[in-house]
């Protein structure tokens, strides 16, 4: 569920509490959520591991590309955070105990100032599909995953989309889920974007004309922007760094509404399986054009 809007909202809510503060690694629970740049498990001495987790660094900025969020400290150390399905990056107030809180994998103490509300940062993830990946200065090589991501969905241009998709034979939906084509879309926002653009999820990328790519690009940006404004979508697990759920769920037009009337034309919404994912669409507003 953390797709681009949720990750961007987490980033924004963390910035005022982390930038300019120092981080000290406090606890490491399951180290297997920490991966090397090659994607494999991290095998290093404990001290080096803490070092890679930004121990002792002062936060200079929080970056994001697609569903990836990273924390950067002075000296260029960076830590990529991927939330997977159920990951959370949250802030904790002084005095609040974490004992008994399940699935906490890494905690940091934040070097706070007088007026600061929070003194700790916590990464938790029950399913452990998420992970932490040190990269940048001190972690050796380039961050291959970042290099492979397509342009960010929030600002992607129609011409970029068209250039990346036009030669492909695959269905629109499969292509839009591919993070190498556009970064940040998951199942929810792909369905919302296609509905807004009036394009059938099974339409082959190569059968889409320029005008439709313009519409698609505009739809993706608009949907993501609106979702960010509403703090993202919470279906079940997602909360932001301050523990609040997103409010975009009630604005969804297709996702989770199979069988209910389309909000544009009142015809019942249908479902399909595309790329092994449940897909909701309106047969009337998104006519098949194979």
Partner DNA sequence: CCGTAGACCCGGGGTG
Partner DNA sequence: GATGGCCGGGTCTACG
The answer to whether 27 contacts DNA (rule: CB under 7 A) is no
- Coil, helix or strand for 210? helix
Measured from the Cβ of residue 229, the count of other Cβ atoms closer than 10 Å reads 13
Q: Which of residues 230-269 bind DNA (CB under 7 A)?
A: 235-237
Kindly report the number of other CB atoms within 10 A of residue 195's CB atom.
27
Within residues 90-109, the interface with DNA by CB under 7 A covers 102-103
- Which stretch, 42-50, 150-158, 163-171, 282-290, contacts DNA (CB under 7 A)? 163-171
Among 109, 157, 270, 277, binds DNA (CB under 7 A): 277
Does 152 interact with DNA (rule: CB under 7 A)? Answer: no
Site membership for DNA, residue 137 (CB under 7 A):
no
Closest CA to 35 of 156, 158, 132: 132
Q: Can residue 155 be called a binding residue for DNA (CB under 7 A)?
A: no
Choose among 151, 154, 150: nearest CA to 226.
154
3-state secondary structure 119-150: CEEEEECCCCCCEEEEEECCCCCCCHHHHHCC
Q: Is 170 in the site for DNA (CB under 7 A)?
A: yes
Q: Is 3 a catalytic residue?
A: yes
Please answer whether residues 250 and 224 qualify as being in contact, where contact means their C-beta atoms are separated by less than 8 angstroms: no
- 86 vs 107, which CB is nearer to DNA? 86
Which residues contact DNA (rule: CB under 7 A)? Answer: 1-3, 32, 39, 67, 82, 84-86, 102-103, 126-129, 145, 168-171, 174, 177, 179, 186-188, 205, 235-237, 275-278
């Amino acid at each position: 569920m953390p797709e681009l809007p949720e990750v961007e909202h987490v980033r924004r809510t963390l910035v005022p509490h982390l930038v300019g503060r120092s981080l000290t690694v406090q606890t490491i629970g399951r180290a297997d959520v920490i991966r090397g740049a090659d994607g494999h498990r991290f095998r290093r001495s404990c001290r080096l591991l803490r070092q890679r987790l930004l121990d002792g660094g002062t936060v200079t900025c929080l970056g994001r590309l697609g569903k990836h969020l990273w924390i950067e400290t002075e000296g260029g150390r960076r830590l990529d955070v991927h939330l997977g399905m159920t990951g959370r990056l949250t802030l904790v107030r002084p005095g609040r105990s974490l004992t008994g809180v399940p699935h906490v994998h890494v905690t940091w103490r934040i070097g706070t100032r007088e007026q600061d509300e929070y003194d700790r940062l916590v990464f938790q993830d029950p399913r452990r599909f998420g992970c932490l990946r040190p990269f940048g200065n001190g972690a050796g090589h380039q961050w291959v995953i970042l290099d492979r991501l397509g342009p960010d969905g929030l600002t992607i241009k129609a011409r970029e989309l068209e250039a990346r998709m036009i030669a492909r034979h695959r269905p629109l939906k499969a292509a839009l889920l591919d993070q190498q084509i556009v970064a940040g879309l998951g199942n929810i926002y792909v369905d919302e974007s296609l509905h807004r653009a009036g394009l059938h999820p099974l339409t082959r990328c190569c059968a889409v004309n320029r005008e439709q790519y313009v519409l698609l690009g505009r739809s993706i940006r608009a949907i993501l922007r609106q979702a960010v404004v509403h703090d993202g979508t919470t279906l079940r697990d997602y909360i932001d760094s301050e523990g609040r759920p997103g409010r975009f769920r009630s604005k969804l037009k297709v996702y989770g509404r199979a069988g209910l009337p389309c909000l544009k034309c009142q015809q019942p919404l249908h479902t399909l399986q595309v790329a092994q994912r449940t897909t909701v669409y309106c047969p009337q507003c998104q006519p098949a054009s194979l």
